[in-house]
Amino acid sequence: MTTQARLDCLCLLILYLTTGYGQEGKFSGPLKPMTFSIFEGQEPSQIIFQFKADPPAVTFVLTGETDGIFQIQPDGLLYHNKALDRETRAVHKLQVSALDAHGNTVEGPVPITIEVKDINDNRPTFLQTNYQGSVRQNSRPGKPFMYVNATDLDDPATPNGQLIYQIIMQLPKINDVMYFQINNKTGAISLTAEGSRELDPIKNPFYKLVVSVEDMGGQNEHSFSDSTSVDITVQENIWKAPEPVEIEENSTNTHPIKITQVRWNDPGALYSLMDKEKLPKFPFSIDQEGDIYVTQPLDREEKDSYVFYAIAKDELGKPLAFPLKVQVKVKDINDNPPTCPSTVTVFEVQENEQIGSNIGTLTAHDIDEENTINSVLGYKIVDQIPKVPRDGLFLVQTYSGTFQLAGQSLKKQDTPQYNLTVEVSDKDFKTLCHVQINIIDINDQIPIFEKSDYGNLTLPEDTAVGSIILTIQATDADEPHTGSSKILYRIIQGDSDGRLEVETDLQTNAGYVKVKKPLDFETVAVHNIVFQAENPEPLVSGVQYNASSFASFRLIVTDVNETPQFSQQVFQAKVSEDVPKGTKVGNVTAKDPEGLDISYSLRGDKRGWLRIDPVTGEIFSVAPLDREAESLYRVEVVATEVGGSSLSSTANFHLALTDVNDNPPRLVKEYTGLFFCYPPKEPGSLIFEATDDDQQLLRGPHFTFSLGSESLQKDWEVSKINGTHASLSTKHTNFEEKVYHIPIRINDGGRPPLEGTVSLPVTFCTCVEERCFQPAERLPGIPTVGMAVGILLTTFLVIGIILAVVFIRMKRNKGQDNVERAQASEVEPLRN
């Protein structure tokens, strides 16, 4: 115990005693079971308690585990005469008895318990001054591989007995990295993550640690400490990934077969395999020795390598270390025959292909491993069908499979196809592949005309366009229906105007010569035509078209008397409608192909407006023209040959007339119903509309309106509403019941302006329901209102008389019919 610690204890004790001693109940009192806590290591002769004697008790005695330390005075003062030591006895069980004067026990023995409270008076001590340990390389970080252990006699329930371990030095220490760590409570030593990674017995197999232990949780400046040295040997880790394994595929040995192994550093590990590739079937297993097996034959062509992991776990199922990667490569054996690229491989070769030319390459496959002897293939032709004109027309290069032409005697016409059987072999297998070689025709035949001259043909010049006038024929010996045998006919001479064309029949190669544009005797009377027959495909070199591909033909065109020809079908002209009679308004021209003179005439001049000069074709007006009657005047012009067969032809002459302002404005209709009610109550107005027959501009006419006579201005007023409408208003109400005819001047504002005066009839009449009741002029045969009423009354009278007669008769016959009597009385008044 240090001096300081002792002082502390003393002070505590003094405090304990001075604050309580003398106070009734706490430090003195009657005898009863009591417990006292006293720090160990205090000065001796310390008073614990003063028991008070209760008569007849006069003295006290102490028994129990006094160890010669605890004493009681007869007057009841309990004390200890030596320092206590918790580590010797932590609890003293004492008994105190009270005696009377005769020494008889009157009370007790009463248990008095003394608990010795710990003070940190013991230093922690390592059980060994030096520890030896060993650790496997790559051990899991944090997994203890050894312990150091220190003891401290102080109460482990108090900080005095709580020990903290610490590594204070690691030798060697490279780059200040700690490879080891200690559990500060248990003293368990393990590797750090770095240590797990980097420790390597080959680099350095020995490490020395200095480990300290401190009591009081290492937190107190009064804590004691001890240290020890720890020697650690790093051992090679035998938990190592095995070397990659090679397994020959398609093995016939009995399975499973051991292929490799893993070992945990210590016995008792539980091994398992993990398939990270998630294979549908996993053909490996591991036993509890760590031996790894393949469980069935492998197939390299299915999967050529495997990667999986071996795991070691402790009995609780916790991994002991990192999983180990196991790599398996499947070794090829030649267990697959070569395969042909397809059931039949087709090559094509032209008839005129040169000897030695490459025709094509047969590439067979072998799924055994590439670039090994197992997949090296050799090619050999074993059969040729047909052997015409001889066998051995083709060669194949043994390792490349390239075919070459060995003989130059191919003729499509004779043998269009050869079938070859090719043996393809690898180290152990042979496969037969089929190659078909198609011979392709080449354009080495020219078209040959059946005859070189198609003679003379005479045709009238009016032969219809589209007529077939001649069939020509050439033949080509190349393969039918190809560009080498199809024939195109061209006219290479005698038809510079392109009046003829030749169409080829695709089936027969016949050429139909047709008229494409009208023949014309006057232009070309004799065509000396040369046809050429060609193939659309070019000829192979060395072959040329010769004279047999050409043919001649003479076309003689005869003259036909043709109608005169107008230069246009429609002639158009435009004149103003007010041109004077005799003005030339247009002309037409026609020519006769045979050069005859032409006489012109008109047809359809229904208004008799025009005349045509029979010789010149000039057209003149012979009457005033009127745009308002015909804005576009259409007539036919006829051209007739003079002499010859008097053939004629017609064309149209359209004369457009342009407008002049030659129509005065007028009312748009005959206004008969304009009226004012009589007598007028106030001035009123009426609307009317004007129009003009001349051509109007887009925005319509712009008329101005005025009264036709100044004297009317006191009664009437005309005011314009817009370009076409105006209103006529009365200025007062003083008019008679009659019809007024108001003259109104309307000006069209044209150039020159034209003015018309119209008369607008306005009636003042008696109105019935705002309608004019017009007694005015009575037309003969139409009855007046009075007459109409008279006629109506007369009619009723006659009907009444007839009814009355009928009634009287019925009354006489039947006597009493009330209904009929009532009817009769209704009719009665009419009778008067």
Ligand X SMILES: *[C@@H]1O[C@H](CO)[C@@H](O)[C@H](O)[C@H]1NC(C)=O
Q: Which residues bind ligand X (CB under 6 A)?
A: 127, 147, 149, 151, 164, 184, 186-187, 218, 250, 299, 335, 344, 385-386, 417, 419, 436, 446, 455-456, 546-548, 554, 573, 586-587, 687, 700, 721-722, 724-725
Q: Please tell me whether the peptide bond between 56 and the residue prior to it is cis, using omega within 30 degrees of 0.
A: yes
At 557 the three-state DSSP class reads strand
CB of 546 to ligand X, least distance (A): 4
CB of 656 to ligand X, least distance (A): 12
CB of 164 to ligand X, least distance (A): 5
Both structure tokens of 157: 């329930």
Annotate 331-361 with b (16+ C-beta within 10 A) or e (fewer): bbbbebbbebeeeebebebbbebeeeeebbe
Quickly tell me which residue has 């196991």 as its tokens. Answer: 326
β-partners of residue 773 are 766
At 613 the three-state DSSP class reads coil
Which of 143/725 has CB closer to ligand X?
725
Which of 67/299 has CB closer to ligand X?
299
Q: Please tell me whether the peptide bond between 389 and the residue prior to it is cis, using omega within 30 degrees of 0.
A: yes
Which of 38/513 has CB closer to ligand X?
513
Quickly tell me which residue has 């880790």 as its tokens. Answer: 237
What is the rounded radius of gyration, in angstroms, for the C-alpha atoms of the chain?
72
Which of 681/699 has CB closer to ligand X?
699
Quickly tell me which residue has 């008019």 as its tokens. Answer: 735
Which of 174, 167, 206, 172 is closest to 190 using CA atoms? 167
Contact 509, 475 (CB under 8 A): yes
SS3 sequence, 12-39? HHHHHHHHHCCCECCCEEECCCEEEEEE
Which of 261/339 has CB closer to ligand X?
339
Which of 455/752 has CB closer to ligand X?
455
CB of 148 to ligand X, least distance (A): 9
Contact 497, 523 (CB under 8 A): yes
User: In which element (H, E) is residue 715 found?
Assistant: none
Residue 231, CA distances (Å) to 134, 145, 147, 172 in order: 8, 12, 12, 11
Instruction: In whole angstroms, give the CA distance from residue 823 to residue 818.
Output: 9
CB of 302 to ligand X, least distance (A): 7
Phi, psi of 371, rounded to the nearest 5 degrees: 60, 25
CB of 757 to ligand X, least distance (A): 21
Which of 277/383 has CB closer to ligand X?
383
CB within 8 A of 659, min separation 6: which ones? 577, 627, 694, 695
CB of 23 to ligand X, least distance (A): 42
Which of 433, 442, 448, 368 is closest to 401 using CA atoms? 433
Number of residues assigned to the chain: 832
Both structure tokens of 378: 């050799």
The greatest distance separating any two alpha carbons of the chain, rounded to the nearest whole angstrom, comes to 200
CB of 91 to ligand X, least distance (A): 21
Which of 131/207 has CB closer to ligand X?
131
Which of 224/264 has CB closer to ligand X?
224
CB of 417 to ligand X, least distance (A): 5
β-partners of residue 719 are 727
CB of 676 to ligand X, least distance (A): 19
CB of 691 to ligand X, least distance (A): 12
β-partners of residue 756 are 746
Which of 28/415 has CB closer to ligand X?
415
SS3 sequence, 70-117? EEECCCCEEEECCCCCCCCCCEEEEEEEEEECCCCEEEEEEEEEEEEE
Which of 309/347 has CB closer to ligand X?
347
Which of 2/419 has CB closer to ligand X?
419
Which of 586/750 has CB closer to ligand X?
586
At 3 the three-state DSSP class reads helix
At 760 the three-state DSSP class reads strand
Phi, psi of 801, rounded to the nearest 5 degrees: -60, -45
Which of 53/247 has CB closer to ligand X?
247
CB of 157 to ligand X, least distance (A): 15
Q: DSSP letter for 154, please.
A: S
Which of 722/766 has CB closer to ligand X?
722
Which of 84/470 has CB closer to ligand X?
470
Instruction: In whole angstroms, give the CA distance from residue 43 to residue 3.
Output: 12
Which of 367/712 has CB closer to ligand X?
367
Question: How many other CB atoms are there within 10 angstroms of residue 154's CB atom?
Answer: 25
CB of 708 to ligand X, least distance (A): 22
CB of 331 to ligand X, least distance (A): 13
CB of 722 to ligand X, least distance (A): 4
Q: What is the DSSP string of 349-385?
A: EETTPPTT-EEEE---B--SPTTSGGG--EEEEEEEE
Instruction: In whole angstroms, give the CA distance from residue 298 to residue 305.
Output: 10
β-partners of residue 293 are 258, 285
CB of 344 to ligand X, least distance (A): 5
CB of 94 to ligand X, least distance (A): 30
Helix axes 785-814, 818-831, angle to 10 degrees: 150
E-only strand ranges, 721-800: 725-730, 739-747, 755-768, 771-773
CB of 445 to ligand X, least distance (A): 7
Which of 18/417 has CB closer to ligand X?
417
β-partners of residue 180 are 191
At 549 the three-state DSSP class reads helix
Contact 567, 653 (CB under 8 A): no
